[in-house]
Homo-oligomer: A and B are copies of this chain.
Amino acid sequence: MQEAEPNTESLFEAPPMGEQERMIEAVLFASAEPVTVRELEARMPHGCDAAEALAHLRKRYDGRGVQVVKVGDAWAIRTAADLGFLMQKETVETRKLSRAAIETLAIIAYHQPVTRAEIEEIRGVSVSRGTVDQLLEMEWIRFGRRRMTPGRPVTFVVTPEFLDQFGLESARDLPGLKELRAAGLLENRLPPGVEPATENDEDDDMNKDGQPELFED
């Protein structure tokens, strides 16, 4: 009806907030993946305030069988965790992670961005290639920025898929993060007598086009 011409209509006025809430409800319900505020606004008529509509929607679903949850900078609808027992049919058999993979994942989540050498320093053993590959393949971790230390090692960080998997709004909501930080257990403390590597932020040997010498071999 009206929706046939949302574009011409929107030149004049954004739809009322209740209508915006309905739109977001529809989009989030339809999608299995989290949707960002930007994507929501791109789909909605011009002038909509997706963030405000989201806040209303979130309140509306408070305590219901499905919930509006935040995943990184995106939003999704998920069933309430206390109703998991009804869903045996939907449960997907998750691949069992090895103890090494679980620890590596936790270290990446709590220490990110973290290099392979740092993971090995914390675990006290070398990290097997398969472990990192598995986590990359599951898209729970990805490469982060290179560390500006000798060798320019790549770092690892966790992904939005990881947050979605564990029902976290952001990596700041990891359980016990604050306590661990307060206890100094997330510091990268070097063994006594070892010189800290200099954080040399700009490297003259890098030409303007961002081609580090690493790629020239």
Q: Which A residues fall within an 8 A CB radius of B? A: 1-4, 6, 21-27, 29-32, 39, 43-44, 64-66, 77, 79-80, 82-90, 110-113, 129, 132-133, 142-146, 152, 154, 157, 159, 167-179, 182-184, 209-212, 214-215, 217
Alpha-carbon gap, A43 to B146, bound state (A)? 38
Count the copies. Answer: 2
Instruction: Give complex CA distance A167, B36 in Å.
Output: 15
Q: Given that A77-B29, A169-B145, A184-B133 are known contacts, is A65 also in contact with B217, CB under 8 Å in the complex?
A: no
Q: B27, B64, B77, B89: which contacts A87 (Cβ < 8 A)? A: B27
In the complex, chain B residues whose CB is within 8 Å of the CB of A212: 172, 176
For residue A40, which residue of chain B has the nearest CB?
B86
Chain B residues with CB under 8 A of A64: 22, 25
Asked if B129 and A182 sit within 8 Å, CB to CB, the answer is yes
The distance in angstroms between the C-alpha atoms of A4 and B82, with both chains bound, is: 9
With a CB–CB cut-off of 8 A, which chain B residues contact A86?
Answer: 23, 26-27, 43-44
Check A29–B184 contact: CB distance below 8 A: no
Q: Which residues of B contact A82 (CB under 8 A)?
A: 1-3
Residues A79 and B26 in contact, CB atoms below 8 Å apart: yes
Distance in Å from the Cβ of A75 to the closest Cβ of chain B?
Answer: 14
Say yes or no: A210 contacts B170, CB within 8 Å: yes
- CB pair A172–B210 under 8 Å, yes or no, is yes
A-B contact list, 29 entries, CB within 8 Å = A1-B82, A2-B82, A3-B82, A4-B85, A22-B83, A23-B65, A25-B65, A26-B83, A26-B86, A26-B87, A27-B86, A29-B29, A30-B87, A31-B90, A39-B89, A43-B86, A44-B86, A111-B211, A143-B173, A144-B173, A145-B170, A146-B173, A152-B172, A154-B173, A159-B167, A170-B210, A171-B210, A176-B214, A177-B217
